[in-house]
Amino acid sequence: MRALAKLPYLTIVGIDRNNADLNDALTSLKNMPDALSDNYLVTRADINKLPFDSTSFDCVICSEVLEHIPDHETALQELVRVLKPQGDLVVSVPRYFSERICWLISPAYYNEDSGHIRIYKKKKLQKMLTKQGIKCWKINYKHALHVPYWWLKCLIGLKNEKHWLVKYYKKFLEWDIMKKPQSVRILEELLNPIMGKSIVFYLKKG
């Protein structure tokens, strides 16, 4: 959303059920010197009952959400409902391999309050998505460099932010996000098909 908030020809809406996360998002956007305050809205809403009219949006992005939602099929129905015909839906969830390792290493990881309640297999999720009347035209993998960070946290302790390995790897990830050095970007693109943390589905509503 931060990147999109810079584009004057877009109107962006972000939702979450958690007030603290909403406040963090608003603070982050307000602190962006090049964010356009009149083209974004951040509001509290339930993905299973979205407060928007049908066919309201040209594009809907659901990033790392469905793995938290008990009734994920209703959530998908809502996402498709508010999408315009020929609109784009982008859905990302944790990839099966990297997520399974986290679950094996740390029971605390999957017992976390409001944490991940399921791990998706690619074909099963693709079938569930296309069952909503949308066509998948591309699948991609992202965030390979985030995988070691979460494996470290599972090994050392999810709440242990002071361990030097976790602390310095987090600083590396933050540096990469902000600076986007070309060498690191190339490395991650090479690693994404092998160990990308997220799988991303690009879909089109008929």
Q: pLDDT tens, 95-124? A: 999 999 999 999 999 888 889 999 999 999
Average pLDDT value for the chain: 92
Q: What is the mean pLDDT of residues 128-134?
A: 94
Q: Is the dihedral of CA 93, 7, 86, 56 positive or negative?
A: positive
Strands (E), 40-167: 40-44, 57-63, 83-94, 134-142
For residue 5, the model assigns a pLDDT of: 61
Q: pLDDT above 90 covers what percent of the chain? A: 77
Strands (E), 144-187: none
CATH number belonging to domain 46-205: 3.40.50.150
Q: pLDDT tens, 26-82? A: 888 778 767 656 678 889 999 999 999 999 999 999 999 999 999 999 999 999 999
pTM above 0.95, yes or no: no
> Which of 79, 84, 87 has its CA nearest to residue 15?
79
Domain chopping of the chain, boundaries:
46-205
Of the pLDDT bands very low, low, confident and very high (cuts 50, 70, 90), residue 136 is: very high
User: Given a cut of 70, is residue 155 above it in pLDDT?
Assistant: yes
Which residue type sits at 158?
A: L
